[in-house]
Structure 1
Amino acid sequence: MLMFYDRPILYCKLFTLPFFSCGLRLELHSLQYMYVMAFAVEEINCNSILLPGVKLGYHIFDSCTLALQHALLLAVGDTRSCNLTASNISVSFPQISYLASCPCLSDRSKFPNFFRTIPSDIYQARAMARLAIRFHWTWIGAVIVNNDYGQLAIQVYVFVVTLYQYLAISKVASGVLGVAIRSSKIPGFENYLRNLNTHSYSYSSSSVKKSSLPPCSGTESLEGVQNLFTDTSQLRVSYNVYLAVYAAAHALHSLLSCPNRDSPPRNNISTCSSPKSIKSIEHLNKVNFTTPQGEMFYFQGADIPAKYDLVNWQNTPEGTLKLVLIGRVDGFDLLLNESAIQWSTGSNQVPVSVCSESCPPGTRVATRKGEPVCCFDCIPCAEGEISNTTGSPHCERCPSEFWSDAERTACIPRQVDFLSFNETLGITLATAAVSGATVTTAVFVVFLYYRQTPVVRANNSELSFLLLVSLKLCFLCSLVFIGRPSVWACRFQQAAFGISFVLCVSCLLVKTIVVLAVFRSARPGAEALMKWFGPGLQRGSVCFFTCIQVIICAIWLSLSPPMPHHDLGFQGSKVTLKCAMASVVGFSLVLGYIGLLACTCLFLAFLARKLPDNFNEAKLITFSMLIFCAVWVAFVPAYVSSPGKYVVAVEIFAILASSYGLLLCIFAPKCFIILLRPEKNTKKHLMRHVFSLLS
Structure 2
Amino acid sequence: MHLSSICSFLPAFINCFFFNVFCLESDFSLKGDYLLGGLFALHEVQHATPLSSPEAIQCLRYTFSKSGYQMLQVMRFAIEEINNSTTLLPNVSLGYEIFDHCTDSKNFHSVFSFISNNGLIKSKEKLNNYQPKVIALTGPYGSTSTIAIAPLITMDVIPLVNYGASSYALSNKRMYPSFIRTIIHLTLINCNSTFSHSIKVPFSNCSVECKEGFSREPNGYHSCCFLCKKCPHNSYVNYSCEYFKQSMTKQVFYQSVLKFTINNSRLPWHNNGPVPFSNCSVECKEGFSREPNGYHSCCFLCKKCPHNSYVNYSWDPYTCSPCAESEWSDEGSTTCKNRSVVYLEVTEILSIIVMASATCLIILLIAIFCLFAHNYNTPVVKSAGGSMCFLMLACLIMSTISVFFFFGKPSSVFCILRNVAFAFFFTIFLSCMAVRSFQIVCVFKIAAKFPNIHSIWVKHNGQWLFVGFFSVIHLISCILWMTVSTPKPSRDSSTFKDLTILSCEMGNTATVSVVVFIVWFLGFLCLLFSYMGRDLPKNYNEAKSITFSLILYNMSWIVYFTTFLILKSKYIQLVNAMTQLSSIYGILFSYFIPKSYIIIFQPQKNTAAYFQTSIQNYTQTISRT
Give TM-score scaled by structure 2 length.
Answer: 0.48
Give TM-score scaled by structure 1 length.
Answer: 0.43
Q: Which has the higher contact order (CA 8 A, sep 6+)?
A: 1
